[in-house]
Structure 1
Amino acid sequence: MKLAYFLSTLLCSTVVTSQEQDAPNLIVIMTDEHNLRTIGAYRDLMSNEQAFPWGEGVKVDTPHIDSLAKEGVLFNNFYAVTPLCTPSRASFMTGVYPKFTGSSWKNHGKLRKKIRTFAKEIISSSDQYKSAYYGKFHLNGKSLSTSDFGDPNRKFGFQDIDYQYNRGHWKYFEETATNLTAYEWDARQKFISNGRNEEDYYATDFLFQKAIDFMDKKSQNGKKFAVMLSIADPHDPNFVREPYASMFSNLQFQLPKTAEMARARKPGIPEWAYLGEGSMLTDSSGSSRDIDSNLNFALQQTFGMIKLIDDSLGKMLDFLESRGIKDDTVIVFTSDHGDMMLEHGRVNKGVPYKSSAQVPFIIRWPAKIQPGKVVETPYTSVDFLPTILGLMGISTQTTTHGIDASSEILGDQIISKNENQIRFLTDSKGRDWMAAITNRYKLILSASSPWLFDMEVDPDEILNFYDDPNYADVVAMLQGPLIEASKKYKFSINKKSFIANTPSCKDSIDEIENWQGKVCEDVSSSEFSGACQVWDFVQNSCPKTCGQCCSDSEGEIWLFKALRTCADMTSDIRFCRQEAAQLFCPKACGLCPQ
């Protein structure tokens, strides 16, 4: 019996040791606000028109990021579950939708303290792993301080957080024996004078080097490492160190085609796609598409930031090669959300357009992943945790909302596509929308008319196919699951209202035919108050504004956590106080002339 017990113990010990030896290292690199079209590997999958929206050949080369895709797998439909910093990061870390992560469903909110992250799952799986987090966290609330590094009470599975900070887009770090201090761009003179080497202090260089130092130390000590490196670039402020600041000074960016169309309302844009600060001005001294010189400088600097990130990644890849741990290391390259970069006349994020919501997601693991693989199946931030744990062979009892994509990653197909998989996106607190996506279609429901994009027919995401009878089956396939997801996952719009069918009486959102530069909103102003009576073409384009139609709509509207019809409006006086109800059911709400 003793011999049997000894052999059993030895066998189990040998198996565990073998599993631990086979376990890979992990590096997760997350940039901030990164447009897909600034990465060569993604441009290679696009038409020229899609790849170069700012003009032919206006690009930044990213050979090191591209190499990850050539040697690994690129996800061509990976979305930020919410295209906003904090909620996107929260879902990425935990595998659940934003409302389940704590107050981090709002920007600058706090991740729920006892929630489990992918890092916690990894270090719990084996004491061989040592974990660390470098860079921007943005999950510890509103705290913003130049000395706010590493809250020891909020590690979330990251053992070393000495170089983790909560908020800010710091450009420099200075470290002494006792202090670590962050600085903004306006402190640059301090780091380029008195013989200092700016590269030693600039944030991207500094954080990459600290991460490499950690990995070097752990690998030499026979430990496995799990590192997350969160770089705050290429998010604004749009400044970068030399020589990257001057590297793209010869580029003249042009206004993307979609921005020209949005400004002219040819065709009109969805209500959730308001132009705001994104209604960009062109440079009057240049051609009609040359953008304003200040914007041009900002985009040149953005390209510079991305080039520096790529070069820094190159140094990290060289380190892995030199230490002989390339094959045993999983590298994930992604971003928290995209950046419109003038597409559709907008900057920043927060909308369901591809450039805002879709993010790069590339994984390299030479020992296991077939090189050059492309996954067309849609996935989102909530899918990262189950996917990375599945890929690394780590089991978990933690409940997630995500899908484990590891079997698709490790499959034999070079191009992998599940056309039936539906994933969901939710706004956080801004324009109140939600979306269902497949690899081809995107349905958006909001407080105004529903929108359906066919991204194969219309990669610019300009045309609305919702009311096209040829797409009725697509709408039916997406709309029910989206509404159910909004209830199950507590999307923010679920507490408000959204329109599930196109209103019967509505104005055109396009420029009024025969009246250049004018839309129906202009007709309601005092300057053009008589236009409806004078011109038939105004009445045709703007029947609602001109009082030519006032009828209730067929279909349903979401009010007070339930789908309702116009016949329900009289059952509760609260219903008709909602703007969406007034748009959808004007007659039932008593808004039609007698």
Structure 2
Amino acid sequence: MKSLRRLFFISAVVILGGLFTTQTVSAQNGNKKNLLFIVTDQQRYDALGYAGNTVIKTPNLDRLAEQGAYFRNAYTPCAVCGPARSSMLTGSIVEHTGVNSNSQTYYYNGEGVMTMPTFDEVLAGNGYHCEYYGKWHALSSHAEVYENPVQYAENGNSVFGPGGQSFIWRDDLNTLGPAPGPGDGEFIDGMSRWPYLANPLDRFYGMSWQDLQNQNLKHSQPDQHGKLNLDVEHTMTAFQAKQTLEAIERLKDTTFSITCSFHFPHSPMLTPEPYYGMYLVEDMIPPVSINDPMNNSPYVNSNSRQKRTEYADPDKIKYMISEYYGIITEIDDWIGKILDKLDSLGIADETLIIFTSDHGEMLGAHGMREKNIFYEESAHIPLLMRFPGEVQAGTNVDSYVSLVDLFPTILDYLDLPERDSDGKSLRGLIEETDTVHGQYVVTEWDRENISNYMVVKDGWKLIIPYTIKSIVINAMYDLNSDPHEMNNLLGSNPNRASYMDKAEELRACLLEWLAAKNSVHYYSVSQRDLMYGGKPTGNNAAFVSQELPELIAGDTVTVSITMKNTGVTAWTNRGQFRLGSQGPADNEIWGFKRVDLTEGDSILPGAEKTFTFEITVPEADGIFIFQWQMVQDGEEWFGAKTEIKQVISGNPGAYLDACDEISNWNSSAGLSLNTVDQQQGTGCLEFSAASTDEFKKVFAKPYNSRGSVESTELKFWYYVSDVSQFESSNQVEIGSAGRADQDEYNWNLAGLSNGWNLISLNISEAGVMGSPNLNAINWFRIYRKKTGPVTTRLDGIQLIDSEAGPVYTLLVNSGSGGGNYFEAEELTIMANPVFDERIFDKWVIESGSPLIADSSAATTTLTMGAGPAVIRATYKSTVSVSDRESLNMDVEIYPNPAKKEISVAFTLEQPSEITISLLDLSGREVGNRMKDIHMNPGYRVLKIPVSSMRPGVYIIKSDINGQLYVKRVMIQ
């Protein structure tokens, strides 16, 4: 897969390179302008001496500010690592990058994510030599532009993959010899694997390292606090700075872009002496807001605030402030060495330096740690620029700016052509020629059930969700009189009406910004009730009818769907009402995911709308669902879904469990097998109760998904009789430990509707416990808390790797070795032994195109062809000719093709036991099996009804006294 990603990237660079070659750029015309981009992780705006902090020591960052431009009001585009960095690198807002969580970084393979180039990809296309050191935390495919001499750690992992910076650092630490074991009061730092002495803020302070092992307690990064027992010259900060220094020295005669991305001051809050203890704990001052009750705040439950109450302890938080300041001073010392290196090499004047951070740190403000919210400590960040001769020393910029603005700023100052982005060059603000940009700034977080937008103007801040119905409260703060954001002027404030004019002024700025970005959220934000908060939308819809021709792979056909407005709001194009694809939501299986209303449409309550449109039926192998539902984009899916039309094309793929049998399945209330309303095969599992555990199974034989974490999906059908009985607490689990909460992947299910739902869950987006193995899955579970009885059903569980190529099913009759295999894969097949007068004769290919190495050998190898296959071991007898004739009968299938029923005819020479099964091409039983039928000698015919079967090619498997006969049949 890595080679495929690399091939795609190289192709993209070639295309982009074609665009760049027509331009005359500084890197190619001798006018040398370098870029040194320094970014920390989780450094708040006021953790800087130049910002007015009289406690922290940052003389080198202060020097940088004095020699260039200091931006007093710089904000992150999103107070979360991955989204912030993706936006910073590309100059694109979060809504446009599609990166709204840390899970959409590194090897995430979802479509439409971070499709735009980074500034370093643009620079590389214009002749720059680009290298990057430290934390990456964006889509790894964009890091292929970097020419670092060392690209992989000794364990084979890329330095631009998950954990990459830790792996390469530990390679360096390994040269010091084995790390010492933990002593009294010490734990092990999960990043360096060296011991540290815990202080009272550490979650497990007072316990021993052995206690943690005995109780299997996990020590996460944010929970670790103390003195790292590692020489100061070997910390991660020192290592990343040294890499940068070496790169500057090596590239001094080139035109370069070098990024130094420090991991710290992100957790764990661990540093060695002299930085640990540099700031006396007793001298640290807790935040003013540390005991804020937050009774009228959207963040009252954020960042584990109610559970991690130690961060609201004024005495304990002093330890964290001391650690945090010490870590930043360590970073500052190394930045001083980097600045000195530029000076000593004589290239400081030709190097643009930018220093910033991806987001801030709460550091006990409002009793919280970490980031993730729009309060100043989390969203407001430092930003410094120095470029002698271009940026006047001592420049202070008070205008509001975003990290999104850095992309166009870099291209501007490096004399490169302007490119499309969501930001604007900061040159005009630095030189005081721009009087428009910078009047306000917007920060976003594009996900459900949180505050989604923050807009700040003139010291006033508005924080709101982006939907009409969200129950997250509105908030507005006057930072001029309330800098610690303890007095929400909206929400439940009884005097909120007197602040509506200011709130609407700020909303107008936000709407201007959303309109300029062509945001899908514009309409809902414009309709949000700032006075009273969330309210029902009044949207509802009923499915009336649909007209579908026969869906044949590759055909383009016209379809129509009629929906009725059963709500209280009119459907209009301006209101962003559309027909949207389901099964799963927002898929583009049929060529697109939305069908628009016309500009003149206004579908009033009680009226119907017929959507007529063309679709293209997919040709790829798999199971495809044609289903649609009304959606108000930016707000909600609503109303009934259309009837499901299922299309099976080619080989639908292998099943973790077809759910056609109830054996080994368990629940908290008993299960039944439903053979009437299944989505595939002969049945589905059914649960009916109000209890929590619905479906769980331990698989006796582990299932090999043959997929990767990056590109494998868990797919299954899930029926719900009444979603209103569901509480929010739920989970889907698969694992390799044969039990819950150990070596498992897990997800929460949301957005379900009554009836059947096709669930698609990316392994790359799962929660992870332990070390689950996709090649040995032996656990599955769904549980959900409920308010009353509900019926749920489960069918067709699959694990499918979309990048691994098609997997084809091999059926081995009278032998072993069957399963699901890739084209050209080699495997071993073995004929079953027999204990009568017969001996093995040869292998016979009943269907498909596999290659059998030695068809006359009972044990041999088979190479899979480009499609499903059926093979059979045949046997010859050592008895008389007449006896042999009785063993090799002819089985006749008619009519073929069939519509209503299939006849299976044969002549029996002796009393016999017969079982007949109908299979699809993947080997699943799809009809009611005729099992263990006793028949006397003579000409016999068995009839199988098939009128309810979907058209297609099937397999009739007849077992007569243990001898298998397989025939293909077409059902029309």
Q: Give the TM-score normalised by the residue count of structure 1.
A: 0.67
Whole-Å separation in 2 of the counterparts to 1:138 and 1:441: 32
Q: Would you say 1:257 and 2:288 are equivalent positions?
A: yes
Query: How far is 1:299 from its partner?
Result: 2.8
Whole-Å separation in 2 of the counterparts to 1:459 and 1:105: 28
Give the aligned partner of residue 759 of structure 2.
none
Native 8 Å contact 2:143 2:160 kept in 1:
no
Give the aligned partner of residue 224 of structure 1.
255
Native 8 Å contact 1:251 1:300 kept in 2:
no
Give the aligned partner of residue 61 of structure 1.
57
Aligned residue runs from structure 1 range 246-325, under 5 A: 246-260=277-291, 262-263=292-293, 265=294, 268-274=295-301, 277-278=304-305, 281=309, 291-293=314-316, 295-325=317-347
- Give the match's secondary structure for 1:204: helix
Give the aligned partner of residue 461 of structure 1.
485
Q: Would you say 1:443 and 2:462 are equivalent positions?
A: yes
Whole-Å separation in 1 of the counterparts to 2:91 and 2:125: 17
Whole-Å separation in 2 of the counterparts to 1:17 and 1:248: 45
Identity among equivalent positions (%) equals: 24
- Give the match's secondary structure for 1:75: strand
Q: Would you say 1:209 and 2:242 are equivalent positions?
A: yes
Native 8 Å contact 1:83 1:337 kept in 2:
yes
- Give the match's secondary structure for 2:384: strand
Give the aligned partner of residue 351 of structure 1.
373
Aligned residue runs from structure 1 range 135-534, under 5 A: 135-140=134-139, 154-155=142-143, 157-160=145-148, 162=150, 164-168=159-163, 170=166, 173-175=169-171, 184-185=190-191, 187-188=193-194, 198-219=231-252, 222-260=253-291, 262-263=292-293, 265=294, 268-274=295-301, 277-278=304-305, 281=309, 291-293=314-316, 295-396=317-418, 398-411=419-432, 421-429=439-447, 431-446=450-465, 447=470, 448-465=472-489, 471-483=499-511, 485-486=513-514, 488=517, 490=519, 499-503=528-532
Whole-Å separation in 2 of the counterparts to 1:291 and 1:178: 39
Q: Would you say 1:118 and 2:151 are equivalent positions?
A: no
Whole-Å separation in 2 of the counterparts to 1:494 and 1:348: 32
Q: Would you say 1:99 and 2:128 are equivalent positions?
A: no
Native 8 Å contact 1:340 1:347 kept in 2:
yes
Native 8 Å contact 1:426 1:434 kept in 2:
yes
Change (3 A) 1:276 1:405: closer
Change (3 A) 1:347 1:197: closer
Query: How far is 1:561 from its partner?
Result: 5.8
- Higher helix residue share: 1
Native 8 Å contact 2:26 2:414 kept in 1:
no
Whole-Å separation in 2 of the counterparts to 1:505 and 1:95: 32
Change (3 A) 1:458 1:489: farther
- Give the match's secondary structure for 1:258: coil
Query: How far is 1:352 from its partner?
Result: 0.9
Whole-Å separation in 1 of the counterparts to 2:248 and 2:192: 32
1:154-194 Cα deviation digits (max 9, x unpaired):
4253333736443448498144799999984562269xxxx
Question: Alignment partner for residue 22 of structure 1, among 31, 39, 47?
Answer: 31
- Give the match's secondary structure for 2:270: coil
Change (3 A) 1:431 1:16: closer
Higher mean alpha-carbon deviation, 24-33 vs 465-474, is at 465-474
Change (3 A) 1:118 1:223: same
- Give the match's secondary structure for 1:322: helix
Matching residue's letter, 2:34: N
Whole-Å separation in 2 of the counterparts to 1:136 and 1:455: 33
Matching residue's letter, 1:207: Q
Give the aligned partner of residue 955 of structure 2.
none
Native 8 Å contact 2:25 2:416 kept in 1:
no
Matching residue's letter, 1:64: N
Give the aligned partner of residue 38 of structure 1.
47
- Give the match's secondary structure for 1:37: coil
Native 8 Å contact 2:79 2:379 kept in 1:
yes
Whole-Å separation in 2 of the counterparts to 1:320 and 1:334: 19
Give the aligned partner of residue 581 of structure 1.
none
Whole-Å separation in 2 of the counterparts to 1:452 and 1:379: 20
Query: How far is 1:409 from its partner?
Result: 1.8
Whole-Å separation in 2 of the counterparts to 1:218 and 1:240: 31
Whole-Å separation in 2 of the counterparts to 1:504 and 1:570: 28
Whole-Å separation in 2 of the counterparts to 1:37 and 1:238: 18
Q: Would you say 1:132 and 2:131 are equivalent positions?
A: yes
Change (3 A) 1:186 1:326: closer
Native 8 Å contact 1:434 1:445 kept in 2:
yes
Larger relative contact order (CA 8 Å, sep ≥ 6)? 1
Whole-Å separation in 2 of the counterparts to 1:17 and 1:449: 50
Whole-Å separation in 2 of the counterparts to 1:328 and 1:492: 43
Whole-Å separation in 2 of the counterparts to 1:406 and 1:469: 40
Q: Would you say 1:77 and 2:73 are equivalent positions?
A: yes
Change (3 A) 1:417 1:314: farther
List alignment gaps of at least 5 residues for structure 1.
1-14, 44-50, 52-56, 141-150, 191-195, 284-288, 507-558, 563-567, 579-594
Change (3 A) 1:427 1:72: same
Query: How far is 1:238 from its partner?
Result: 0.9
Query: How far is 1:459 from its partner?
Result: 1.9
Whole-Å separation in 2 of the counterparts to 1:471 and 1:42: 30
1:472-497 Cα deviation digits (max 9, x unpaired):
54333321342465574557898899
Matching residue's letter, 1:123: A
Cα RMSD of the aligned pairs, angstroms, is 4.1
Question: Alignment partner for residue 104 of structure 2, among 106, 109, 126?
Answer: 109
Query: How far is 1:470 from its partner?
Result: 6.6
Query: How far is 1:199 from its partner?
Result: 3.9
Whole-Å separation in 2 of the counterparts to 1:444 and 1:228: 33
Native 8 Å contact 2:75 2:380 kept in 1:
yes
Whole-Å separation in 2 of the counterparts to 1:330 and 1:411: 19
Give the aligned partner of residue 969 of structure 2.
none
Aligned residues, how many? 459
Query: How far is 1:340 from its partner?
Result: 0.8
- Give the match's secondary structure for 1:22: coil
Whole-Å separation in 2 of the counterparts to 1:302 and 1:21: 43
Matching residue's letter, 1:119: D
Whole-Å separation in 2 of the counterparts to 1:375 and 1:270: 31
Whole-Å separation in 2 of the counterparts to 1:34 and 1:439: 23
Change (3 A) 1:462 1:291: closer
- Give the match's secondary structure for 1:444: strand
Matching residue's letter, 2:65: A
